[in-house]
Structure 1
Amino acid sequence: MFRNAFSMEHFRHRLAHSEALPQMVVLGIICGLLCGVVLGSFRLLLEVPLAHLLPGGESENFEELSGWYHFFLPVIGSLIIIAILSRVTPLTRKVGVTHLLERMAYHQSNLPLKNAIVQFLTASTALLFGHSVGKEGPAIHLGATCGSQLGQKLNLPNNTLRILAGCGTAAGIAATFNTPLAGVVFAMEVVLLEYTVIGFMPVMVAAATGALVMQFMFGQELVLTVPAMQIESLSEIPYVAFLGGMIGLLAVAFISLMRETMRWSDHSVLTYKTKLIIAGLFTGSVAVFVPQVMGVGYDTVTSVLNGELGLGILIAILIAKCLLTPVVLGLGIPAGLIGPTFFIGAIAGGLLGILGAGAVNEQVANPGFYALLGMGSMMGAVANAPMAALVAILELTGNPNIIFPAMISIVVSNLIARYVFNMPSIFVTSMNLQGMDYRYQPLTRVLSSAAVQSLMSTSFVKCDPIISCAGAKSALDTEPSWIVINNKGRYTLLSPGDLHSTTRDIASDTSDIDMLNIPGLRLDTGFIDTKATLQQALDKMTADGMDALCIRDNNEQVIGLLTRDQIEEFYRKS
């Protein structure tokens, strides 16, 4: 018994229950370690070549390259991406956060390894060759795939894959920004869409472990160098709210431009190869005049936060980035948009900070302070993740004085985007364009948290369609919950009480009983795998018009029964 308690089969059985917290915490730690190694490799692949090839040994210093490099690098990058994508199927080309949400909503969080490999190669190529995109989206996809693959390789129940994908998402954000708490909140706010103890604990340890691995590999330095800043006077609060409103409008424009580009891209006669070449040419043409748009651009963001860029260059960068990034992402460059929203928000916030300082005579906060507010407001509005944006700004700055003004600007920007313009997040918008939805109703959330193995009844007896009265009495002696009638591989459930009533009316024990024709309650059944969730079971019952299912193990043996009444009772108690 002691040995069985520590067996893999017992581990899987415990995970089938919605309250398997210790087991999920262990998996969260393992997931964080895997994510840290994978994302550390992703970061090394980006930083080592760029540090050696770009001027000054800086991994983001595209600005110092000559104009020819600015033009041709993105074009070459597009050609390499085309070469990679041409060797895989259209389904394998799906990558990024939208792909993650699709797999969670429609495929039980089963994320294919091939798509993650394609994401790793194409995103690193896009960033190495200066495309105006980010690395956070790919990091989220890679992290979530690490979690999902961990569950698949261990043959865990499907209800655990969703939480493991959330663990990987949190570890991806934590490893990219060195902001573990922001990773946790983003996973809960955008991916899992719920705050529960069973979800929060493993996601939290995964984020902490992923960040720890990255700190071990690269040190504890934050992605952005942010000076200590704070609001100078409460009289600036109206301007902070104004900034939030302007950033909200900018977020609406960003989402709208990317949405329209995706619509045109989907309905045009151009192939994906032509679209990627157009994206490369467009990026190169813009980069010739405004090279700051190339790559992630955290060096430019740092300059803005330190107030090192003037009004003219800020306007030029803002216009170029706002036009370029949503278009190239809409054309299919397989990389992220969270970094670019930080970039755009910082530029717009810094610009508004300079304009605000020039409009009043009294002392106001540093323009870099408004750049920080812009970063959080833009990310919160575009990704519909206001809490994650607030926590990210707090962790990046380590400055609690940012909380109050950031809350105001982030709330206003989200109100503008969500309620004034009714604009969903960019991820939901992308899914809607593909005819998909990503909403978890309360019933779905509860039933997806447990596997059929946690609720199935094992108290049953199998019988043939024709059985003697003595055989029926012998079956009833075990006091089963159901009699399972095996009719040429098709199983029907019969209530034991009805069989008992029939045996009382038969005088001879040698008389035969037709189990399929005696009066009584019978339920036709189908079959479902032990890894399936209760939601999958309910969906199958509804689709097949049945009220019960037989649970089969890997050897195709029936090990349990599940009825619609059991599922409904589980939901009422939850």
Structure 2
Amino acid sequence: MFRNTFSMKQFRHRLAYGEALPQMVILGVLCGLVCGLVLGLFRTLLETPLEHLLPNQQSENFEGLPTWLHFLLPIIGSLVLIAILSRVTPLNRKVGITHLLERMAYHQGYLPITNAIIQFFVAVLALLFGHSVGKEGPAIHLGAACGSQLGQRLNLPNNTLRILVGCGAAAGIAATFNTPLAGVVFAMEVVLLEYTVIGFMPVMVSAATGALVVQFMFGNAWALTVPTMQIESLHEIPYVAFLGGIIGLLAVAFIALMRAAMTWSNKSTLGYKSRLMLAGLITGIVAIFYPQVMGMGYDTVTSALQGDIGFGLLLGILIAKCLLTPIVLGLGMPAGLIGPTFFIGAMAGGLLGLLGGVAVNQTVAHPGFYALLGMGSMMAAVTNAPMAALVAILELTGNPNIIFPAMISIVVSNLIARYVFKMPSIFVISMHLQGMDYCYRPLTQMLNSASVQRLMNQNFIKSDTVISAQGAAKALESSPSWLLITEQDTYTLLSPGDLHTAIQKTHSDEELIDLLKVPALRLDTRTLDSRATLQQALDLMAEHNVEALCIETSTQDIIGLLTRDQIEAFYREN
């Protein structure tokens, strides 16, 4: 009995019913540990070579390289990426947050391990060779893939798998920025699209565990060095709102340019090899004049936060990064855009901070304060994740004085992008350009959160097609809800009441009854894996125009029955 209570079978059984909070917390810890180790290795492979190869042993000091390397490095990087990607199939080249959202929307969170491995290496190489991209998108994909693979290896139900993907995504953000709470909010806001206790708790534990593992490996250093700053006067609030509006316009331009680049890529006769070479060439040309656009650029962001970059250089870097990053990403560079949005927001905010004193004709906050507001506003408007952006800059600063002005600038920037220009997030646009529908449907979310095992009816009797009256009477003694008629590889459900009526019409106990011919309510069925969600069940019913399903294990044993009426009753009650 003790063994059965703590068996893996019982563990899976509890998870299928959606109320297994202790089990989900355990899985969250395991997911965070795995994600932390993978992302720690990712960071090591990225930073160690750069520290040895770049001047002054600084992993982001691309500016210290000679000009000819600024031009050649991205081109060489594109050649290396082409050599790797040419050896894998087009399906395995799909990486990043868009790929993650696709797998969540259409594949119940089953993320292939091959795509994650490709993401790991191509993201490292793109950043090593100075491409103008970020590591946050790859980190989220890698974290989510770790969670998904953990669920797949343990053969867990699909409703649990989706939460584990959210756990991994949160751990990815937490391990990258050392901002666990921002990771939690991003996972709930963008990946899972819901806030529930059963989802929130394991995601929170996973993010904290992932951040702890990376802190143990690399220390408790922040990704960015942010000085303590605050708003000087409430008279600056209108200017903060103005900053939010400008950043909103900048986000719209970023999204529009990236959408145009993706549209052109989809329609162009150029193959992915030519597009990657074009991305490398464009990056090399821009880097000749502004090498700060190369790589992640956290050193440049830190300088902007410190107020160490002059107006002219800020403006040049801003224009270069705003034009370069959406184009190379739209051309198919397999890396992230969250880091670049932080970079662009910091440059734009720093510029507005320098102009602030002239604009309001009085003492204003440090330019770095506005750079910080710009970071949060740009990320929020491009990714449609305002809460995640707000929490991220709060955790980066550890300064509650940032909350009020940040809320204003983030709200304004999102209003400009979402409601004035009707721009969805860049991830949704990317999915639409690939012909995929992606939108929030509360009913779908609810049905995806529950396993078929939660509702399936296990009170049934299996029967052959032809049965004697005596055998039929004996089968009805246990008062089953359904009779499952087995004929070769097909299953049909028969109402017990109709069988009882058929028995009364027989003349002897030995008389045979053909269960497929007697007048009765019969339901055709299809089989469905026991790990499936209620949404998958409903989709299968619609696809085959049936009203019932047989729930089977991996060994093809029928363990339960599920009808459309049961699903409809579930979502009416919830």
TM (norm. structure 1) is 0.99
Q: 5 Å matches for 1:168-247?
A: 168-247=168-247
Q: 5 Å matches for 1:418-429?
A: 418-429=418-429
Aligned residue for 2:463?
Answer: 463
Residues 489-498 or 252-261, more deviating: 489-498
Partner AA of 1:501 in structure 2: T
Aligned residue for 1:433?
Answer: 433
Q: Helix, strand or coil: the match of 2:513?
A: strand
Q: Helix, strand or coil: the match of 1:283?
A: helix
Partner AA of 1:345 in structure 2: G
C-alpha distance in structure 2 between counterparts of 1:28 and 1:437, whole Å: 29
Q: Helix, strand or coil: the match of 2:523?
A: strand
Are residues 1:416 and 2:416 paired?
A: yes
Aligned residue for 2:311?
Answer: 311
Partner AA of 1:485 in structure 2: I
Partner AA of 1:563 in structure 2: T
C-alpha distance in structure 1 between counterparts of 2:386 and 2:360, whole Å: 29
C-alpha distance in structure 2 between counterparts of 1:97 and 1:490, whole Å: 40
C-alpha distance in structure 1 between counterparts of 2:213 and 2:490, whole Å: 52
Aligned residue for 1:101?
Answer: 101
Aligned residue for 2:477?
Answer: 477
Aligned residue for 1:251?
Answer: 251
Aligned residue for 1:27?
Answer: 27
User: Residues 150-187 of structure 1, C-alpha deviation per residue, up to 9 Å, x if partnerless?
Assistant: 00011111111111000000000000000000000000
The CA deviation at 1:361 is 3.0
User: Residues 51-86 of structure 1, C-alpha deviation per residue, up to 9 Å, x if partnerless?
Assistant: 111001100000011001100010111000001100
Aligned residue for 1:451?
Answer: 451
User: Residues 249-294 of structure 1, C-alpha deviation per residue, up to 9 Å, x if partnerless?
Assistant: 0000000000000000110010100100010010010001101000
Are residues 1:9 and 2:28 paired?
A: no
The CA deviation at 1:569 is 1.4
Are residues 1:497 and 2:473 paired?
A: no
Q: Helix, strand or coil: the match of 2:146?
A: helix
Partner AA of 2:407 in structure 1: M
Partner AA of 1:415 in structure 2: L
Aligned residue for 2:572?
Answer: 572
Aligned residue for 1:127?
Answer: 127
Aligned residue for 2:70?
Answer: 70
Q: 5 Å matches for 1:43-122?
A: 43-122=43-122
Aligned residue for 1:370?
Answer: 370
C-alpha distance in structure 2 between counterparts of 1:37 and 1:466, whole Å: 59
Partner AA of 1:235 in structure 2: H
C-alpha distance in structure 2 between counterparts of 1:328 and 1:464, whole Å: 63
User: Residues 215-245 of structure 1, C-alpha deviation per residue, up to 9 Å, x if partnerless?
Assistant: 0001111111111111001010000000000
Residues 330-339 or 431-440, more deviating: 431-440
Q: 5 Å matches for 1:396-415?
A: 396-415=396-415
The CA deviation at 1:359 is 2.8
How many residue pairs were aligned? 574
Aligned residue for 2:142?
Answer: 142
Residues 503-512 or 170-179, more deviating: 503-512
- For structure 2, which runs of at least 5 residues remain unmatched after alignment? none
Partner AA of 2:155 in structure 1: N
C-alpha distance in structure 1 between counterparts of 2:206 and 2:43, whole Å: 19
C-alpha distance in structure 2 between counterparts of 1:467 and 1:303, whole Å: 83
Are residues 1:269 and 2:269 paired?
A: yes
Q: How high is the sequence identity, in percent, across the aligned residues?
A: 74
Residues 78-87 or 497-506, more deviating: 497-506
Aligned residue for 1:355?
Answer: 355
C-alpha distance in structure 2 between counterparts of 1:498 and 1:440, whole Å: 43
C-alpha distance in structure 1 between counterparts of 2:55 and 2:491, whole Å: 72
- For structure 1, which runs of at least 5 residues remain unmatched after alignment? none
C-alpha distance in structure 2 between counterparts of 1:361 and 1:327, whole Å: 38
C-alpha distance in structure 1 between counterparts of 2:542 and 2:173, whole Å: 38
User: Residues 436-474 of structure 1, C-alpha deviation per residue, up to 9 Å, x if partnerless?
Assistant: 122231221111111112211111111122111101101
Partner AA of 1:68 in structure 2: W
Partner AA of 2:18 in structure 1: S
Aligned residue for 2:328?
Answer: 328
C-alpha distance in structure 2 between counterparts of 1:451 and 1:561, whole Å: 13
User: Residues 538-561 of structure 1, C-alpha deviation per residue, up to 9 Å, x if partnerless?
Assistant: 110111010011111121121111
C-alpha distance in structure 1 between counterparts of 2:463 and 2:21, whole Å: 39
C-alpha distance in structure 1 between counterparts of 2:313 and 2:411, whole Å: 28
The CA deviation at 1:512 is 1.3
C-alpha distance in structure 2 between counterparts of 1:352 and 1:361, whole Å: 14
User: Residues 467-516 of structure 1, C-alpha deviation per residue, up to 9 Å, x if partnerless?
Assistant: 11101101011211101111222111111111112212323111111211
Q: Helix, strand or coil: the match of 2:230?
A: coil
C-alpha distance in structure 1 between counterparts of 2:445 and 2:25, whole Å: 20
Partner AA of 1:146 in structure 2: C
Q: Helix, strand or coil: the match of 2:173?
A: helix
C-alpha distance in structure 2 between counterparts of 1:556 and 1:363, whole Å: 73
Residues 317-326 or 436-445, more deviating: 436-445
C-alpha distance in structure 1 between counterparts of 2:69 and 2:487, whole Å: 73
Q: Helix, strand or coil: the match of 2:445?
A: helix
C-alpha distance in structure 1 between counterparts of 2:20 and 2:520, whole Å: 38
C-alpha distance in structure 1 between counterparts of 2:233 and 2:260, whole Å: 41
Aligned residue for 1:152?
Answer: 152
Could you say what the CA RMSD is over the residues aligned between the two structures, in angstroms?
A: 0.8
C-alpha distance in structure 2 between counterparts of 1:489 and 1:560, whole Å: 16
C-alpha distance in structure 1 between counterparts of 2:327 and 2:383, whole Å: 17
Aligned residue for 1:163?
Answer: 163
C-alpha distance in structure 2 between counterparts of 1:84 and 1:249, whole Å: 37
Residues 500-509 or 288-297, more deviating: 500-509
User: Residues 284-306 of structure 1, C-alpha deviation per residue, up to 9 Å, x if partnerless?
Assistant: 10001101000100000110111
Q: Helix, strand or coil: the match of 1:444?
A: helix
Q: Helix, strand or coil: the match of 2:551?
A: strand
Partner AA of 1:262 in structure 2: M
Aligned residue for 1:541?
Answer: 541
Q: Helix, strand or coil: the match of 1:527?
A: strand
The CA deviation at 1:358 is 2.4
C-alpha distance in structure 1 between counterparts of 2:130 and 2:45, whole Å: 14
Partner AA of 1:186 in structure 2: F
C-alpha distance in structure 2 between counterparts of 1:487 and 1:61, whole Å: 71
Q: Helix, strand or coil: the match of 1:183?
A: helix
Q: Helix, strand or coil: the match of 1:513?
A: strand
C-alpha distance in structure 1 between counterparts of 2:77 and 2:336, whole Å: 16
